[in-house]
Amino acid sequence: NAGVTQTPKFRILKIGQSMTLQCAQDMNHNYMYWYRQDPGMGLKLIYYSVGAGITDKGEVPNGYNVSRSTTEDFPLRLELAAPSQTSVYFCASSLTGTANLWYGYTFGSGTRLTVV
């Protein structure tokens, strides 16, 4: 039972380069999320998806794009990387739930990205 798998674990990009961070889950969760975590800070939501074909912006979407063609995969695309995008990126997933029956988030292990 793999849970949420993120690749790569580490990456160094040059300014202006592009890359895709991969995220896959095998729990049949309908919700998926991308967060970034800067040193000493909490997690900020970049994008999220409520199901295949449906995505929406979070708090800090500028400079990123996402797609959700399948339930399992939710890649995050960085176009024209900038030093401000140096961060640790976490993918998470969850199931739809009610107020009293919700199972919470499962997180991946993260991708540490440095833009130089």
Q: Rule CB under 8 A: which residues touch other proteins?
A: 31, 33, 35, 40-43, 45, 48, 50, 58, 90, 92, 94, 96-97, 99-110, 112
Strands 43-51 and 31-37: antiparallel
The least distance separating other proteins from the CB of residue 97, rounded to whole angstroms, comes to 7
Residue environment code for 26-56, b if the CB has 16+ CB neighbours within 10 A, otherwise e: eeebebbbbbbeeeeeebebbbbbeebeebe
Give whichever of 60 and 82 is closer to other proteins, judged by the CB atom: 60
Give whichever of 14 and 101 is closer to other proteins, judged by the CB atom: 101
The least distance separating other proteins from the CB of residue 104, rounded to whole angstroms, comes to 4
The least distance separating other proteins from the CB of residue 102, rounded to whole angstroms, comes to 5
Cβ count within 10 A of residue 103: 11
DSSP assignments along 73-88, one per residue: B--EEE-S--GGG-EE
The least distance separating other proteins from the CB of residue 96, rounded to whole angstroms, comes to 7
Give whichever of 75 and 82 is closer to other proteins, judged by the CB atom: 75
- Please name every residue paired with 28 in a beta bridge, in sequence order, or none if there are none: none
